[in-house]
Chains A and B, each alone.
Chain A
Amino acid sequence: MIVPTRILNIVVVGIGGVGSALVPKLSRYCQFLPEGIEVKMTLIDGDEYQEKNRGRQAFHRLGNKAEVTVERISAEWPRIEFVSFGQYLTEENIEFLLCEVDNDSGVPQDTVVFVGVDNNDTKNVIDRYAQGRENIIVICGGNDYTDGNVQLFVRKGGKEVTQSLSTVHNEIAHPTDRSPHKMSCEELAAESAPQLFFANETVSVLMCWVFWHVVEHPAFLNDPAFAELFFDMEIGKVNSYQRHPQPPPTKE
């Protein structure tokens, strides 16, 4: 039995259009990582698949998105330890879900959090938690109809390597929407704005771009060449931005 030298703890928050496109890609890649790396993948979502989701999301039966996805994919990628958490991520459960050590073995783990949620409130919860962590990698993506972005937030040794989600995006620092667990049944049942399947897929691919750098290029985490990508399908462009932490303003 190979004793793992490293646990790669992947947490995917949101298994909707982006998450359900992302998980198979991550799984296929992680299945063939070098020996010695133990891979754990936790899928988190309190929502349920409905027939109306078929245009953008892959599922073999109705039910909780996290549970159904783990059920569908775990047999195909046996190297990965899949865990489903069928509730929404909240301020109360985030510490347990994104623990710095493995809950079972106590072994320290490298945590990479993929955020594919449709509300800034949840992004704000994750971002504030991540800002208090010694080490963490957050890859957050979202889209509008034909454009979107992926942002990387890295903390290493207690210091920011890139700017946090809230530092760059005011709408995440001060969300005006609410996490689903705070919404009423009527609000949850309300129709959301239409989305384009290809935009979800593009977000998932750009998240994979970032993840590939994180896993295979250790120098990237010391000085990322980019920390945010914006794409626009209408004009056929992808732009990258560095998000280096800014020094505090000097007093005159």
Chain B
Amino acid sequence: MNFTREELAGKSKLELKSLIKQSSLDVAFTNMTSHPELVEAIMQAQEKRDAAAPPPAQEEAPPVGGRQRGRARQQLEEDQRPPEEDAPPPPPNGNGKAKKKIRVACGASSGQYPVAGMTVGNIRQELRDILNIGSEHMPRVNGASVDNDYVLKEEDSLEFVRNAGDKA
């Protein structure tokens, strides 16, 4: 699945690096690679991958105004298209129901993740790089302190409290 430039811009550096590893994109980076550089490199790698892939079965839309629409524009139009009535349901978990996503936050980073039923400790490990969660960041569920053994419920909201800025 390709990401638009807007979607990539909304992700953290750690999320982008994780995405590169998971999708096996041909992108080289170091710790000094900046956020905009990562976004640009991923966009180019996606285009290169698409160019190397066999053409899709259905006809492509005719060019508008004599020019081929850009891939970002195509993605934007696909996102704005209303969902099809017979779209396939999301993949079920073990009991046949899709897992409800829970908000997990750490400082300025946050997201919705299917972590109900997991312990706080496991969630910390899974999302450590994506949300930049430090080992010293204390967990809170629905505003109250919990320990790492707490098991998240569907209606919970989890925060790893980032340290206050200590310079001024």
Q: Which residue numbers of A lie inside 8 Å of B, CB to CB? A: 14, 16-19, 116-120, 123, 140-144, 147-149, 151, 165, 168-172, 177, 192-193, 195, 199-200, 203, 230-232, 234-239, 241-244, 246
Q: Nearest Cβ in chain B — how far from A18, in angstroms?
A: 4
Question: Given A16-B168, A234-B35, are A246 and B163 neighbors across the interface (CB < 8 Å)?
Answer: no
Segment of B24-32, B47-55, B102-110, B148-156 in the binding face: B102-110
Chain B's nearest CB lies how many Å from the CB of A44?
13
Contacts A142-B168, A147-B165, A230-B162 known; 18 new A-B pairs at CB < 8 A: A17-B167, A17-B168, A18-B168, A118-B168, A123-B164, A142-B167, A169-B161, A170-B138, A171-B136, A171-B163, A171-B164, A195-B167, A200-B168, A232-B108, A234-B12, A235-B12, A242-B143, A246-B143
Tell me if B13 and A235 are in contact (CB < 8 A).
yes
> B167: which A residues are within 8 A, CB to CB?
17, 118, 142-144, 148, 192-193, 195
Given contacts A170-B138, A234-B35, A235-B12, contact A119 B166 (CB under 8 A): yes
Q: Is the CB of A169 within 8 A of B13?
A: no
Report B-chain residues with C-beta under 8 Å of the C-beta of A140. Answer: 164
Cross-interface CB contact of B165 among A144, A165, A170, A246, cutoff 8 Å: A144
Residues of A contacting B: mostly: mixed
User: B161–A168 contact, CB under 8 A?
Assistant: yes
Instruction: Point out which of B9, B11, B108, B144 has the most chain A C-beta atoms below 10 A from its C-beta.
Output: B108
Q: How would residues 1 to 26 of chain B score, 1 for a CB under 8 Å from any chain A CB and 0 otherwise?
A: 00000000101110000000000000
Are B110 and A239 in contact, with the CB atoms below 8 A? yes
Given the complex, which residues of A lie within 8 Å of B35, measured CB to CB? 234-235
Which of A117, A151, A192, A230 contacts B107 (CB under 8 A)?
Answer: A230
Once bound together, how far apart are the Cα atoms of A17 and B11, in whole Å?
Answer: 29
A165 to B161, CA, bound (A): 12
**8 A-B residue contacts at CB 8 Å?**
A19-B168, A143-B167, A144-B165, A151-B164, A232-B12, A234-B35, A235-B35, A236-B9
Chain B's closest residue to A115 (CB) is: B168
Q: Which residues of B contact A17 (CB under 8 A)?
A: 167-168
Task: Give the CA-CA distance A193 to B168 in the complex, in Å.
Answer: 11
Q: Determine whether the beta carbon of A172 is less than 8 Å from that of B164.
A: yes
Q: Nearest chain-A residue to B166 (Cβ)?
A: A142
